[in-house]
Structures are given as C-alpha cells and as structure tokens.
Amino acid sequence: MNQLRGTGVALVTPFLPTTNHAVDYAALRRLIDFTLDGGVEYLVINGTTAESPTLTVEERTEILRVAKEQVAGRVPLVFGLGGNDTAAVARTLRTIDLTGVVAVLSASPYYNKPSQAGIEAHYLHLADASPLPLILYNVPGRTGSNIAATTTLRLAQHPNIIGIKEASGNLEQCIAIAAAKPDDFLLISGDDMMTTSLISFGAVGIISVLANAFPRSFSDMTRHALAGDFAQASQLLYEFVPLNPLMYEEGNPVGVKAALAAQGLCSAAVRLPLVEASEALSEKITLLTHKVQGVAAG
C-alpha cells in the first residue's frame, strides 16, 4: 500500500449556506482540485472530518460518486466508515459499492467505551466482512477509549488490516507500535502537529485536517520529513503552530472550514450540533490563513 504514503486529506463536506445546509457539490469539486493541485497523495472521503454522522446514506453515496468522477484516477481514494454498532457497520461494508476505493478507514467505536477485547473483536469482525483493506483509526479524545499498542499489534496480524491512523497524541504508544509492527503495516499520523515526529520513527505520512486548506505547505512538509530533511520539514511545521489550536477551538471541522471560507473555496457552514465559527475565532483564523499563504507564496 505504498500509494498511501505521504499526505492524505481528511476531506471536509462543503455545505451550502442555506437553512438546510445541502451538500455543495460544486464546492466539493473545487476543493478536490485545490487539494490535488496542492500535491497531496490521496483523499479520505466520508471520514469524521466530513461530518459523516450528519450525512444521509444517499449523500454519502453521491459524495463518493462525485469524488471519483472529479479525481478521475489522479490519486487513490479511501472511504471512511465506522460506528458503534459492529453488525451495522459490517452490513454496510458488505453492501456498499466501493468500486474505485483502495481502503476503508474505520474509527474505533465511540460512546460504548469497549474494553480492549471488545475493540479487538469489533475490528476482527469488520476485517472479515470488508471487501477492501481496513485501516484502524485511534482517536481517544473523540471516542472515549484508546486502542492500546498491544491491541493494535495483535490486529496487525490480520491479513485485511493494513494500518492505523494514530491520533492518540501518545508518542510512547506510537513508538511501541513502530517498534514491533509487521514491516508492511502502515503507521499513519492522525495528528497534524505530530506528523514529523511520527515519521522520524517509521510513520509513512499523515491523514490531515490542515491539508484541506493548506495542501501545498503541508504536503511539502510531509515529503521533506519522509526524505529525512527534518530541518526543512520543521520550518514548514512551525508556520502552523499558532493556527492549529484554532482548528479545534469550537469543534472540527469548524476551524478548517473557516480557513477554507477565508480562501473562497467553500462556505463555513457546518451541520448541527456544530455551528459556524464565532466572529472572533473566524477573524483570527482568517488573519493566520493569509499569513501562512503569504509565507508559502514567498
């Protein structure tokens, strides 16, 4: 799966700034071209940054169709599909048309807070059901439970589980995975600001939120790190230090949609229970977005 090396974008779902916030498919096409022109290596469609819990089955299907049409084979596509009802996720995996997709990214069950044995059983069930390779997604800050390194390493033995997007923020845990994982098991950063650190001990790249709005700078940073040029990668990373916390201050993807709106790429609209960035936050994000753009242009 070397095609998943580098920068993947956890693509947002643009919405029209209308009362019902319908999907803005014209903006979706525009955003796809913007990220690909920025040099990213692949796209993740319908991930949690896409506000997937608020999308209907019909919208998810149409978003995937539009994405495949717009990408036109230029980069690989990964499809996000998770949930806290194992049987329901497995049924969807067996029935959904994933033609043109190379892998499925599946977040660990949220709210249920399963034990490690439960998390392992959940993923083994999905891996057996999935027609495509499965990438685990560990994001305990959102799900309420952590996938321990020992659990990840056991799951890595399943032939249909090819990697993990690690967003625990726990470097020691990530190092433990890197030290003992199979050679072909992908360790992928799920935290933008930890990308260079994880690459330094074996990660193959990042599935990024920031790369929605800053694909050129972020993919350049990742490529420098993968080439072993950590000095140059760090200089690019430092530009995001003031901006990154603002991405999550009022929820994700509230912040990154404000950054996209500042560039005229899509509206800042999000679906309830999220609300658009406050005026104060939006002003700060707009200012820093233009600053990062200026540095990249220079």
Catalytic residues: 137, 165
162 by Cβ neighbours in 10 Å (0-12 / 13-18 / 19+) ranks as buried
Distance CA 116, CA 147 (A): 7
Closest CA to 82 of 130, 115, 40: 130
| DSSP helix, strand, coil percent of the chain (3-state; round to 5) | 50, 15, 35
Q: Tell me the angle at which helices 86-95 and 116-129 cross, rounded to the nearest 10 degrees.
A: 20
- Please report which helix (H) or strand (E) contains residue 215, including its range: helix 215-226
Q: Please report which residue ranges of 96-213 form alpha helices under DSSP H.
A: 116-129, 140-143, 149-155, 171-180, 195-200
CA 218 to chain centre: 13
Helices (H) and strands (E) in the chain, counts: 13, 8
Please report, for residues 17, 47, 296, the alpha-carbon distance to residue 279 in angstroms, rounded to integers and kept in the order given. Answer: 16, 27, 26
Tokens of 125: 């069930």
Q: Please report which residue ranges of 39-139 form alpha helices under DSSP H.
A: 57-71, 86-95, 116-129
Asked if 225 contacts 206 with a C-beta cutoff of 8 angstroms, the reply is no
Asked if 82 contacts 60 with a C-beta cutoff of 8 angstroms, the reply is no
